[in-house]
C-alpha cells in the first residue's frame, strides 16, 4: 500500500517495515531457496549482499557456460562473480555445469584406464605402474604417440624410464588442442601461456597410412593388394564423398569396398586421414544426440532415418547439431536424420513432417491434429 506523507516530516517506520522495503526481491528468493552448495564439482556461495561466488576446477566447457550468464566475471583470484539478479540463470547454468562435470569425470576415469592398459603393453616390464601426468610445460613440445583417445581426452606416450622402462604418459584435454588427434598419431603438442596447445604431426599422412594397413582405425580399414588400395568403412555419405574425390576411385557394391590405384598413395593417404577424423567427429555428434534423447525420454528407441523415396517421419524436432537432426517420431521412438540431407534445416522445437525424395530430406509443417493422433508428447 502507498503511504501518504503530510507536512514536512515523514512518519517513522517500524524496523519491520523498513526491513521489508529494503530487501531486494532476488535476495529474498535466494534466502527462501538458496543456491549455495558444493555439489558435483561446482561450489556456489552467496555473499549475503549482491553476488554469488562460483568456484570449479579448470574445464573450458564450464567456463563457456558461466561466461554466458549476463554480468558474470572472473574475479582474478579463484572465483566467478555472478550478480544476484541472475538467480534464475545461475540456477539453470549450475545444473548444466554439474552435469558436465560428471560427464568429464567419467571421461577422465575412462582415459586413465585406457592409458594405463596401453602403456603397460609398451613397457619393458609389467612390474612397474605407468606414470600418468597432466602437467603441460609452456612452450616446450611433448613428443610421442597417441596411445588412447576418448570423446574428451587423449593419452600421449612421451617416454620410457632408462632404468626400469616405466612408461611416461601425458593426458591432454581434446578441447585444448588445435586439431583432432587419433590413436596411433605421432605428434608434438606444445602449450602456450594461455594453456592452448598446438598439435604438429611427427608422421606424414603417407607414413600413417603405411602404419595402419590391415587395421581398422577409427572405423576405416585400408589394405593393399595387387597395385590397389581397398578401403572399407561403415555407411557414411560424408566418407563416401571424400574417397570418391580421388580420380578412378570405384565402389565395389558386391564387396562393399572402395578401390583406388596404389600409385595415388598421397591422395589416398590424405583422404583416409580426413575420413578417420570425420568418423571421430560424427561419433561425438551422434553421442550428443543420444544424450539429448535420454534426457527427454526414458529408454528411447533410436533409429536412423530410412531415406527411400516416399519414406517420412512426423514429430517434434528435439535437437540439431552439425551432423544430425533428432526427431521424436512417436511414443518412445526417436529418429536420427543426417543434417547434410537437408537443403534447409528445420528448427528445434518445430513439429514437422520430414520425408525423403532421391535421398534428400524435405520438411513440411505438421498439423496439430496429426501430432495428437500420433501421440507426440507435449
Write the pLDDT tens digit of every residue in 280-331.
899 999 999 999 999 999 999 999 999 999 999 999 999 999 999 999 999 9
Residue 353 has pLDDT above 90, yes or no: yes
Helical spans, DSSP H, in 70-202:
87-121
Q: In the beta sheet, which residues pair with residue 257?
A: 252
Q: In the beta sheet, which residues pair with residue 197?
A: 177, 191
Residue 372 has pLDDT above 80, yes or no: no
Q: What pLDDT digit, counting tens, does each position of 11-20 carry?
A: 454 555 544 5
Q: What is the pTM of this model?
A: 0.54
Average pLDDT over residues 143-153: 95
**Lowest pLDDT segment from 135-149, 273-287, 293-307, 356-370:** 356-370
CA pair distance 208, 231, nearest whole angstrom: 15
Question: Could you give the angle at the alpha carbon of 90 between the alpha carbons of 86 and 92, nearest 5°?
Answer: 125
328, 318 Cβ separation under 8 angstroms: yes
Cell numbers given for 257: 569396398
Helix (H, G, I), strand (E, B) or coil at 145: strand
- Judging by DSSP bridges, how do beta strands 333-338 and 301-304 pair with one another? parallel
pLDDT band at 126 (very low <50, low <70, confident <90, very high): confident
pLDDT band at 367 (very low <50, low <70, confident <90, very high): low
Q: How far apart, in Å, are the Cα atoms of 50 and each of 25, 29, 53, 85?
A: 11, 12, 10, 8
Amino acid at each position: 500500500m502507498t503511504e501518504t506523507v503530510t507536512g514536512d516530516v515523514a512518519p517513522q517506520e517500524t524496523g519491520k517495515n523498513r526491513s521489508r522495503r529494503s530487501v531486494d526481491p532476488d535476495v529474498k528468493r535466494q534466502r527462501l531457496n538458496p543456491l549455495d552448495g558444493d555439489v558435483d564439482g561446482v561450489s556456489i556461495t552467496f555473499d549475503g549482499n549482491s553476488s554469488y561466488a562460483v568456484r570449479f576446477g579448470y574445464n573450458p566447457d564450464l567456463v563457456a557456460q558461466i561466461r554466458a550468464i549476463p554480468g558474470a566475471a572472473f574475479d582474478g583470484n579463484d572465483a566467478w562473480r555472478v550478480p544476484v539478479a541472475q538467480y534464475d540463470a545461475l540456477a539453470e547454468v549450475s545444473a548444466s555445469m554439474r552435469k558436465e562435470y560428471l560427464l568429464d569425470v567419467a571421461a577422465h576415469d575412462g582415459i586413465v584406464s585406457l592409458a594405463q592398459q596401453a602403456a603397460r603393453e609398451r613397457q619393458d616390464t609389467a612390474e612397474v605402474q605407468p606414470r600418468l601426468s597432466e602437467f603441460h610445460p609452456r612452450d616446450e613440445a611433448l613428443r610421442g604417440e597417441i596411445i588412447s583417445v576418448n570423446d574428451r581426452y587423449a593419452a600421449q606416450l612421451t617416454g620410457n624410464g632408462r632404468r626400469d622402462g616405466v612408461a611416461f604418459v601425458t593426458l591432454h584435454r581434446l578441447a585444448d588442442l588445435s586439431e583432432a588427434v587419433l590413436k596411433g598419431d605421432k605428434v608434438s603438442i606444445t602449450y602456450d601461456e594461455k594453456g592452448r596447445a598446438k598439435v604438429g604431426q611427427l608422421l606424414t599422412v603417407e607414413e600413417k597410412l603405411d602404419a595402419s594397413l590391415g587395421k581398422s582405425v577409427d572405423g576405416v580399414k585400408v589394405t593393399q593388394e595387387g597395385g590397389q588400395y581397398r578401403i572399407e568403412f561403415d555407411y557414411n555419405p560424408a566418407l563416401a564423398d571424400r574417397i570418391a574425390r580421388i580420380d578412378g576411385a570405384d565402389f565395389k557394391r558386391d564387396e562393399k569396398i572402395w578401390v583406388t590405384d596404389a600409385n595415388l598413395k598421397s591422395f589416398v593417404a590424405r583422404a583416409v586421414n580426413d575420413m578417420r577424423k570425420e568418423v571421430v567427429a560424427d561419433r561425438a555428434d551422434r553421442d550428443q544426440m543420444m544424450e539429448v534423447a535420454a534426457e527427454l525420454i526414458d529408454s528411447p528407441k533410436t533409429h536412423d532415418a530410412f531415406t527411400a523415396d516416399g519414406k517420412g517421419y512426423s514429430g517434434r524436432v528435439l535437437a540439431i547439431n552439425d551432423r544430425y537432426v533428432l526427431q521424436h517420431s512417436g511414443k518412445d521412438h526417436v529418429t536420427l536424420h543426417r543434417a547434410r540431407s537437408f537443403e534447409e534445416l528445420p528448427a528445434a522445437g518445430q513439429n514437422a513432417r520430414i520425408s525423403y525424395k532421391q535421398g534428400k530430406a524435405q520438411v513440411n509443417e505438421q498439423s496439430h491434429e496429426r501430432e495428437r493422433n500420433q501421440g507426440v508428447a507435449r
